[in-house]
Amino acid sequence: MERSLQYDRFLEEQQVHLGFYERAAKWAYGFVGWDMKAPSVDKDMEEAEFAIRFRDAFCLAIMGGLMTLPLSVLVFLVGGSSITNWVAAGLPFIVFGGLVYYPSYAAKLRKLKMLGQSPLAILYLVIAMEVTPNLEASVAFAAKNMPNPMGLVFKHLLWMTETRAMPDMEEAFNWYSRKVKEWAPHLAEALYLIAGSMREVGAMRRRSLEKATAVVLEGTKGVMETFARSLDIPVMATNAFGIMLPVLLLIIGPIASVFASSTNVGMALLVIYDFLIPLLLLFITIYILGKRPGSISEIEYLKPSFRVTFMGREWNAKPLMILIAGIFGALQVFLLVTQPTAIMPVVQGVEAVSVGYTLPGIVALGVPLGIYFLSWAQENQKIKKRVETLEREFGNALYQLGNIMNEGVPIEEAMQDVADRMKGSETEVFFRTATNRVRTLGWPLERALFDEKYGVLREFPSNLIRNIMLVLMKSAEKGPRSASLTSISVSNYLKAMQDVRDKIIDLLSESISGLRFQGMVLIPLITGTIVGLGQITSNLLMKIASQISGVVGSGMASGYGYIGEFINIQGVIQPSFLQMIVGVYVVATLFIIGLLVGGLEDGWERTAIYLNIGKLISYGVFIYALATIAIATIFGNMIAVVMI
């Protein structure tokens, strides 16, 4: 009867809940009805557990491309340049390609997440086998405690054996190993070793389990080494399209506007900077992160309280965001009312409008956005640091715990002893808090650790630590010596896994630090400098034009009339409009680089991504604004003196 109830619960968990993309694709297929086939894409969709097929995605892409046509027409009519015309023509194809490719990319991300989870999954199977050498029980333990998608895989294997689709768990393991061998050979080999260990006893079984752990860790390290080596060209492309190309265009933009008699250079730069370059950077980022295996550790984060630490004080971020957006937004509106030509693509009249007339809008956009991401991530980042420190220390702590329990000391006293030895560490906090609650509140150790409201694991929400303590508690039921053997074995596995983590950090550190410096300093500083110089260039061109007009008007030099035929003074780009374009570009680019840096650090882990986005946008917008104002003021005054 219990199996029937469990099976009903499993089936309930497997009920298909269609996402927005899937609902839209099914509607599009019902409307368009084109039965296009692509077996390889259908296989990707099945592996990603989409409830649709390629025909649905293709019809949705057709509908998406058609729905983009009005926007393309609008861009064509407003743009007035060959660049905007090309963008208008390509926009439906971009939307079509993105909607068609999305399911394949989602399937790739799922495989990468499984690769990242594979060391933890094998570790759970192995430590469960150390306590109870039963394959079904070990898979049940892993299925209960592993997050998806690996948790779902183990549940599926369980019910294949329960429903006799497979004769036993060993055969189910072999079947799944053959299925993933092509793209995860180290996971397949580790599963083969664990399945084969059931035919061994004693030291032979332990060696097989240790071999399984070593194989999956070595395989994960090899995957990360391959990924790290492949970063050179994509990072170079990010540098080229994030810094070099924009700088070159900014330098020639104001000058080119004078010679482009029939092209709206301002609108062309708007499309290039605020659409094409960010879109290209986003594609590069998606390509890079589409090859990075997921994070090894899993942490359960708290709901963010939106508080941010600044200048040693903790602030409520919500009123701070509203205040900054309100002040600078109101200032921007006031400046535009007093000088409406500030957002015109070209200079109106005889004098260019200063970049300061549109700078408050960029501050109102960027700073609150950066504070939002920082405040979301900052509290959870503190938890993450504590958990990572505890996980790093836990291997040594378990080894000492095992040695103490080997002398017949109960686990509670052994934890207290380890806490005394490791003073000043997160391990001391973890063990001492648990034993204090046992001693002062009279709770059993299990409640002191796992209580939903007051358990010590609420302060350290690590699935890895939680499951290790579950195994130790189960092993301790057989006595201190049994718990000692389990503790020492698990400590060896943890140390090996920590070595792989350290290797991953070392492999990616150079790329991450380079991208972070590029986003936090180089991009805002260089673009701010160029925008400030753009104002100087526009003012110089207007003054030169004024002098040429005076000379030609006086009839002193007939040769100047020829200059006026190919110099379009009325086409000089407005510095305030240029600043608005580049400011939006800076915010968008820093957002994408923050996504890339966070993704490289921890895969698609939300806290790392939000923290990096928040830092880059907050600091980057500040540096950009300072550089723009400083260059425009200092060199602008110098040029004014020279021209006088």
Q: Quick: pLDDT tens for 433-448.
A: 999 999 888 899 999 9
Q: Quick: pLDDT tens for 455-478.
A: 998 888 888 888 888 888 888 888
Does the domain made of 387-496 have the CATH classification 1.20.81?
A: yes
The lowest-confidence range among 4-13, 210-219, 359-368, 499-508 is 4-13
> Nearest 5°: phi and psi at 368?
-60, -35
What is the token pair recorded at 71?
Answer: 């926007």
Complete DSSP assignment for 479-534? -HHHHHHHHHHHHHHHHHHHHHHHHHHHHHHHHHHHHHHIIIIIHHHHHHHHHHHH
Q: Quick: pLDDT tens for 260-314.
A: 555 567 788 888 888 888 998 998 898 888 888 876 666 666 677 788 877 777 7
What is the token pair recorded at 291?
Answer: 């090859």
Q: What is the pLDDT of residue 480?
A: 84
pLDDT, mean over the chain:
83
Beta-strand relationship, 313-316 and 307-310: antiparallel
CA 579 to chain centroid, in Å, comes to 28
What is the token pair recorded at 138?
Answer: 């070990």
Q: What is the pLDDT of residue 557?
A: 46
Are the C-beta atoms of residues 639 and 388 closer than 8 Å to each other?
no
Residue 570: pLDDT band (50, 70, 90) is: low
Residue 548: pLDDT band (50, 70, 90) is: low
Residue 49: pLDDT band (50, 70, 90) is: low
| Domain assignments of the chain as residue spans, ordered by start | 2-229, 387-496
Place of tokens 């990572």: 388
Complete DSSP assignment for 155-195? HHHHHHHHTTSSSSHHHHHHHHHHHHTTT-HHHHHHHHHHH
Higher pLDDT, 359 or 381: 359
Q: What is the pLDDT of residue 259?
A: 63
- Cα 181 from Cα 188, distance rounded (Å): 5
- Cα 276 from Cα 270, distance rounded (Å): 9
- Cα 68 from Cα 567, distance rounded (Å): 37
- Cα 380 from Cα 267, distance rounded (Å): 42
Are the C-beta atoms of residues 193 and 212 closer than 8 Å to each other?
yes
Residue 112: pLDDT band (50, 70, 90) is: confident
